[in-house]
Structure 1
């Protein structure tokens, strides 16, 4: 079976630029940042994986938000006094962060992290690791920028998820071509981490309702290539509440859910 060549850095940059559609992005504190308790309750129901809910930051720690995107998490941690810096490839996102007074470094090379050795106590990547072309060398880079005893948090689509088997080719929240270049299980990530001096501290998974809804829409509207932005009956508030409730109940009996979250400690 032939394989398409891996995208180059320039091609990936073009993909991400097209994905943001050149839109202006404004960094602002949403309800989730202003009302942490409301956010945690909502995320318990929705299944959203949000580092504001689980990343533990010791007092005085230096933190890296790699792939900081629209800076929702970066701006929150910055506002509560965390010494945090972001890293991002999108010029649109970087401009928005600069305007908001947030520290963000430009990523020029997908296989290299633009920071010095042992510069951070905490590093987190939310839905980023599946986008890198060279996972082994990139994991080594993550280990390099962490201080001994520092913590790395990763969140990625879970290749062992029950929903991957259910939706198969319509598991678009996981496949998401051409942006997702590789897929991981807890075991494969643990192996990569071990090779780079990183020991697994915790592993868990859950399925965001938004991911499940996207897969369901892909299964229903198989010929629609713009299903991510298309609103359907599945997107109605009543339908979303029903899906959230069903998911949270059903997944009480499911071990492998769609979004895998792992934390590692550097020895």
Structure 2
């Protein structure tokens, strides 16, 4: 499930250095690697990184890694990253800032490690669908490592611009996922055996694997009003640093 628009808003050319902050299971790292990036998947979870490293190896064996591209993993804290200033052409921060108390510290680190002229793609849960999830279920967010805040889009953009970045595009994504999470919150976030949850999950997997026109067209039409994720793209000014 890709959240970022790699085709137009956030292009990755072969050989570009890409940092995926809070990479998790690596979905955006894998896409950046397929596009020829020199990718670093960075995360606090060593178990997630082990899985990402295995997938990097599998992609190479399957011939999915272009010549000159590479994928590595690194364990660490996004609030203090072990990279030199101006190290990366692209930085991805997908669904991470809502988990971190010191979000502006992470934003400052993203700005620091991005080269002047480089691009950042940031996504967080959209405000009103997330508000519904919180109202329907405390366990949805009151867990270790769970969501600690709900951003307004304007608030997120303002914080990122205070860090020194300049926003140039934004959109919403994953409209089909909002009702799925509302349903999960109603029956219990961990109740994956509920028949309705299982049926909806099958639909999402079918959409992910097959990309049928009916679901792709429906989600594209619904994203502006129902999209579960808010995505903003920013550039580090050429004169920065």
CA offsets per residue over residues 137-190 of structure 1, 9 Å max, x none?
11111100111111110111012x3x3465561278984644112221221111
Equivalent residue in structure 1 for 2:120, among 135, 144, 152 = 152
Q: Do residues 111 (structure 1) and 79 (structure 2) align?
A: yes
Contact 2:98 2:149 in 1 (8 A): yes
Residue aligning to 1:132: 100
Report the secondary structure of 2:86's partner residue: coil
Indicate if the aligned counterparts of 2:133 and 2:181 stay in contact, CA closer than 8 A. Answer: no
Matched position secondary structure for 2:157: helix
Residues 132 and 89 of structure 1: CA distance in aligned 2, closer, same or farther (over 3 Å)? same
User: Could you tell me which residue of structure 2 aligns to residue 69 of structure 1?
Assistant: 24
Q: Distance in 1 between matches of 2:121 and 2:139?
A: 20
Instruction: Please give the residue correspondences for 1:10-29 in structure 2 after superposition, counting only pairs within 5 Å.
Output: none
- Structure-1 residue corresponding to 2:64: none
Structure 2: stretches of 5+ with no match in the other structure = 58-70, 205-213
CA distance in 2: counterparts of 1:236 and 1:60, whole angstroms: 41
Post-superposition offset of 1:208: 3.9
CA-based RMSD of the aligned residues comes to 3.4
Check the 8 A contact 1:105/1:114 in 2, yes or no: no
Distance 2:139 2:98 in 1: 12
Please identify, of 116-125 and 60-69, the stretch whose mean Cα deviation from structure 2 is larger.
60-69
Q: Deviations over 1:43-100 (max 9, x none)?
A: 7xxxx62565663113432110112222233234324431111101112122234444
1:200 deviates by: 0.7
* Cα separation, 2, equivalents of 1:225 and 1:164: 14
1:182 to 118, 124, 149: 149
Specify the alignment match of 2:190 in structure 1. 226
Contact persistence 2:85–2:114 (CA under 8 A): yes
Indicate how the Cα distance of structure 1 residues 174 and 62 shifts in structure 2: closer, same or farther if over 3 A, else same: farther
In structure 2, the residue corresponding to 1:260 is in which secondary structure? strand
The answer (yes or no) to whether the contact 1:67–1:86 under 8 Å persists in 2 is yes
Query: Structure 2-normalised TM-score?
Result: 0.73
Q: Which residue of 2 aligns with 1:120?
A: 88
The change in CA–CA distance for 1:60 and 1:240 in structure 2 (over 3 A counts) is: closer
Q: How does 1:59-98 map to 2 (within 5 A)?
A: 59-98=14-53
* Correspondence for 2:211: none
Q: 1:113 to 1:51 in 2, by over 3 A?
A: farther
How many angstroms does 1:214 deviate by? 2.1
